[in-house]
Amino acid sequence: MKTDSAAHAAISHRARKIWETEGYPIGRDAEIWLTAEQQLAPPAPTAAALLKSETAAESVVEFNLPSSTPEDDAVRAALQTPESRGTKTPGKTAPQLAAATQVRGTGTSQSTTTPATNPPPAKPAPPTAAAPAP
């Protein structure tokens, strides 16, 4: 990384090149200096780069990854589904989770319970055969 004096020297050198290229103009010192600074400044991060960095940082915290985890690996962890990570909701069994799930329809809610938590109603007994007619 450049120190302030090294950065100043680089900008000064670039400004002189611009000044010479443009024919030694008078009264444009500040404009030429600013142009040299802009040309030597590192590019600003894009929105995509900022989003990737933020997602990686959140992933490290959320999934208890080591802070040395490469950014690409942390983003991959954030993009995995819980099933592919092998994680389960602690303390809940599948029937308990299913019983707690609600399906919302048109203004009403219906429970999506499993047979283990809410057995279906018993089927009526088949009719008995009538005595044969004489």
> Per residue in 102-132, pLDDT tens?
555 455 545 555 555 566 666 766 666 665 6
Cα(127)–Cα(1) distance, rounded to whole angstroms? 91
Domain limits for position 35: 4-40
* The pLDDT of residue 36: 95
Q: Is residue 51 part of a domain?
A: yes
**Domain presence at residue 115:** no
In a domain, 97, yes or no: no
**Rounded distance, CA 40 to CA 57, Å?**
29
Task: State whether 36 and 63 are in the same domain.
Answer: no
Question: By mean pLDDT, which of 17-21, 53-57, 83-87, 98-102 is the weakest?
Answer: 98-102
> Is 59 part of any domain?
yes
User: For the chain, how many structural domains are there in total?
Assistant: 2
Residue 69, in any domain of the structure:
yes
Structure confidence at residue 39 as a pLDDT band (50, 70, 90): very high
The predicted pLDDT at position 42 comes to: 86
In this structure, the number of other CB atoms found within 10 A of the CB of residue 53 comes to 14
Lowest mean per-residue pLDDT among 22-26, 57-61, 90-94, 100-104 = 100-104
> Does 35 share its domain with 54?
no
Q: Please check whether residue 28 lies inside any domain of the structure.
A: yes
CA dist., res. 129 & res. 56, Å (int): 72
Cα–Cα dist 93/6, whole Å: 64
Looking at the structure, do residues 52 and 30 belong to the same domain, yes or no? Answer: no
Specify whether 52 is located in the same domain as 36: no
Per-residue pLDDT at 14 exceeds 70: yes
In a domain, 127, yes or no: no
Residue 67 placed within a domain = yes
pTM surpassing 0.75? no
